[in-house]
Structure 1
Amino acid sequence: MKTGVFYQLPCAEFQNAPARIQETIDQVVYADSLGFDHAWLAELHFQSEFSVMSAPLLIAAAIAQKTENIKIGNAVNLIPLHHPIRLAEEIATLDVISNGRAVFGAGRGSMPAHLEGFGINSEETRHKFEESMEIILQSWSDSNVNYKGNFYDIVDVNVVPKPTQRPHPEIYIAANSQDSFEYASKFDYNILVTPMIISTDKVLEGLEFYRNHKSNKNVNGTSHDVTVNAPIYVYNENDSGGLEPIKKSWSNYVNTLKKIYTSPAAKRASIKNAGIAKSLDRYNSIKFSDVHSEYSIFGTPQECVDQINRFKEKFDFQQLMGWFNIGGLLTDTQVRSSMRLFVEEVLPMIKE
């Protein structure tokens, strides 16, 4: 089982954005020293309490210069917000400066403030995403890019540098909808899932479709990895605080989401998008007890071993992406302790 660390990078009012960014870089360096396989950085905009990770590829470049082995990717690049040629250049450059450690995580994004802030029509994101993915893959080939679509018209463009990894870095698609599972299976991409976001049942339904419809022809140089993102918090049995630190931090995460999905931008978007109301309903109804029992890996080392083994039986994944500070309120010491306990006392006990 491969392991990863995931960073959303929320910044509460009493926190400092530069310090939070530096803390993230330093924690990934620590994760590299512990032997984690991947570091995953979110891309989010305009809502500091939810995230100050608006330029994840810049943070990834800083991480690349301070680490040796850990692979570095986005979970995920919000493809419709970027020009695909520019994004292809930046990811290829990250791959070069990291000596072939870049990973390309791709998603459409759905947060109303993102689409409104960048002037993106929500009804166009799917087709814009698909065109962009075609262009990015062409950009990394040995040929010049020639493409004519509904959104982009590109004539004889030579994208440099090319990625160190050939034909390109591994590609992972964030799957939060049936459309995404269908797309990933059609093009043989690896897949990222977050059961807490869309529910266990929807993840299992999507994974069944993905596994039944992928071609197994290795079309895009992929290994058909399934990566599951789950909040993780490991504490010692003699820790009197128990689950209280992570419970407080998780509550901050959910309360921030409720603010986002009741914002003016969300209300405007909900006129055309019924999914906004559904998301708000989910965040209003989900409880910490639900997260603890079904969607997370919280507890003592032995409790976490048991939870991971249940996750493996349920989702049959190849990589566990650890969300070690969901909500962003855990201290640096708490996060590092949890990561260390995970590597030293949990991983050795996991069934293969």
Structure 2
Amino acid sequence: MRFGMLHLYANPGDLSERQAIQEQLRLMRAAEDLDFDSVWPAEHHFSPLGYTASPAIGLAALAAETRRIRLGTGVVVLPFSNPIRVAEDFAFLDHLSDGRVDLGIGCGAQPSEFEHFRIDPTTAHARMEEGLEVIRQAWLDGRVDLRGRFHRFDDVPVHPTPVQTPHPPIWMAAVSGESFERAGRLGCNLLSGTVLGLNRSVAAQRRADYLSGLEKGGHPAEDFSSGCLVIVYVADTVEQARHEFGAAEAWYRSTIGRFIAPESDPEDSVVCGSPEFVTQRLAELEQTYGFTDLLCWTRLGVLAQDKVLRSMELMQHKVMPHLR
């Protein structure tokens, strides 16, 4: 199991915008020292629940200050961006980071974002697929020649091309069975999560949907990885963890959790306890959901920065060694 961290840049309201952004950057810098494998800032707009309008900007700052940790996106919402610009930005970031980029993409989910950008949400999946085709052309060929439904590019040169060959790993967010199949068919690594509606009653079917998509696309299953987003918090004892994390979990369930995926299993979407408890629960989740990468979401709501760092330290010393 590899360990990543999702970052939403959310502000519960008790911090200035500068404080909220700087605290998230400090956590992502600390993740490298605490042996995490990757960080994954999300893209959101028009809300203090997510300040990262352009994940590449924050990741560029991290690229200059880190040496090992991989820099992912969880996710770039392709329907909102010109795909050539996405290809350029993340190829440039791949150079800044010496080949540490993972591009996570999605079609978007927030109605207000589509409304304010004046994009028809019924076109989101088609826009994402066409955008992915553009990005791959740009990265593989250094040029884009495409006459699509949403974009027209007449043999356009694109610079730079990425450091990684053939290109940075591409991950696709999936919630429904159709989206799991799509991620496989299009040859993308999988990004899902127990906080995104993945639960035990559908886990086996969703895995089958993804594998079916890989087969349809002619992609060997052994070449692909799957990431699972789980809220994780560790303290010295179960009682301490639940006491410290209680307000943060309540904030999550009353805000983001209401519209992300109400069908999520509360016990699988939030893993909170002692190192021993968390290790056991994560091992069970790995067995149930079959993921290769755990994306921990720890910085929630009113939870103090020092407690988040302490949780990460306990993960490093008392959880990760048993699961890697």
TM-score normalised by length of structure 1: 0.86
Match for 1:100: what amino acid?
A: G
The 2-side partners of 1:258 and 1:186 are apart by 29
- Residue 258 of structure 1, CA deviation: 7.3
SS at match of 1:40: strand
Aligned position for 1:345: 318
- Alignment CA distance shift 1:138-1:20 (3 Å): same
Counterparts of 1:233-312 in structure 2, within 5 Å, are 233-237=233-237, 241-257=240-256, 283=262, 291=266, 293-312=267-286
Percentage identity across paired residues of the two chains:
28
- Residue 112 of structure 1, CA deviation: 0.5
State the Cα deviation string for residues 292-341 of structure 1 (Å, max 9, x = none).
x222221000000110111111012111111112x332111101100110
The 2-side partners of 1:299 and 1:346 are apart by 11
- Residue 240 of structure 1, CA deviation: 6.5
- Residue 29 of structure 1, CA deviation: 1.3
Counterparts of 1:98-109 in structure 2, within 5 Å, are 98-109=97-108
Asked if 1:320 corresponds to 2:294, the answer is: yes
Aligned position for 1:273: none
Match for 1:117: what amino acid?
A: H
- Residue 218 of structure 1, CA deviation: 8.0
Conservation of the 8 A alpha-carbon contact between 1:184 and 1:190 = yes
Matched positions, count: 323
- Residue 27 of structure 1, CA deviation: 1.1
SS at match of 1:243: helix
Which of residues 270, 287, 309 in structure 2 aligns to 1:336? 309
Aligned position for 1:276: none
Aligned position for 1:135: 134
Aligned position for 2:94: 95
Counterparts of 1:50-65 in structure 2, within 5 Å, are 50-65=49-64
The 1-side partners of 2:268 and 2:231 are apart by 11
Aligned position for 1:41: 41
- Alignment CA distance shift 1:82-1:202 (3 Å): farther
Asked if 1:9 corresponds to 2:9, the answer is: yes
- Residue 2 of structure 1, CA deviation: 0.8
- Residue 12 of structure 1, CA deviation: 1.8
Following superposition, which runs of at least 4 residues in structure 1 exceed 6 angstroms of deviation?
none
- Residue 182 of structure 1, CA deviation: 1.3
Conservation of the 8 A alpha-carbon contact between 2:2 and 2:37 = yes
Aligned position for 2:118: 119
- Alignment CA distance shift 1:128-1:93 (3 Å): same
- Residue 186 of structure 1, CA deviation: 0.8
